[in-house]
Amino acid sequence: MSGVAIRPAREADLERLAAIERAAMGTARGLDVWHREFRAPAFHTWLAEGADGPVGYACVSVAADEGSLNHIAVHPGWRRRGVARALLAHVLGVLAAWGVTEVFLDVRAGNVAARALYRAADFDEVAVRPGYYADPPEDAVICRRRLAASAHG
Ligand SMILES: CC(C)(COP(=O)(O)OP(=O)(O)OC[C@H]1O[C@@H](n2cnc3c(N)ncnc32)[C@H](O)[C@@H]1OP(=O)(O)O)[C@@H](O)C(=O)NCCC(=O)NCCS
């Protein structure tokens, strides 16, 4: 994929990332939530940056050797260009280098695009949590990706 670079987010990026979230999801966490998560040691955010600034992001948290992909979104104007695939590949590479051995995420059962993205990135759908989401109510599909130990440190 060309045209974007992946880098760790800085606190000054958060307003742009919240705007991408609003455009991508229709709803967004408040900026205070973004800042709180950003400052929490276990939380890490990377963004994909085009010529005019960020176009997508991925947020993970890490506990011991387990990672959790909490959020990933790409601005609607940048979809189907491999941005999310590049973000995921980058993040999984970093987590493997940190010694993370498994990454989990949950996704709305009806989110066809995200489920296809995760399948393409070798996540396995391992469980369903009935009625997990609200507004609208929907099942969550739990996905897991095992990571090989990385030589990088
Ligand atoms: C899900 C999302 C992040 C995908 O971002 P993206 O940059 O468009 O995805 P990519 O271009 O990297 O796609 C990689 C692969 O995922 C799958 N995919 C992505 N979007 C898809 C769609 N709309 N329909 C079917 N498959 C899709 C395809 O396998 C695709 O490979 P291909 O284009 O070679 O066929 C984006 O649609 C989004 O921001 N959605 C709203 C936020 C969201 O739902 N986040 C996930 C919450 S769990």
What's the pLDDT at 153?
Answer: 45
Expressed in angstroms, the distance from the first to the final Cα of the chain is 25
Question: Any idea which of 71-75, 118-122, 146-150 has the lowest mean pLDDT?
Answer: 146-150
Residue 126 neighbours by CB under 8 Å, 6+ apart: 142, 143, 144
Protein residue whose Cα sits closest to atom 39 of ligand 1: 73
Q: What integer is the mean pLDDT of 83-109? A: 97
**What domains are there in the chain, each with its CATH number?**
5-146 (3.40.630.30)
Summarize the confidence of residues 127-138 as an average pLDDT.
96
In this model, does residue 15 exceed pLDDT 90?
A: yes
State the average pLDDT over residues 105-132.
Answer: 98
Q: Where are the alpha helices (DSSP H) in the chain?
A: 14-25, 31-39, 83-97, 112-120
Best substitution site from 70, 75, 80 to test ligand 1's pocket, by max atoms within 8 Å of Cβ? 80
Distances (CA, A) of 37 to 24, 87, 102, 119, 123: 19, 19, 21, 27, 25
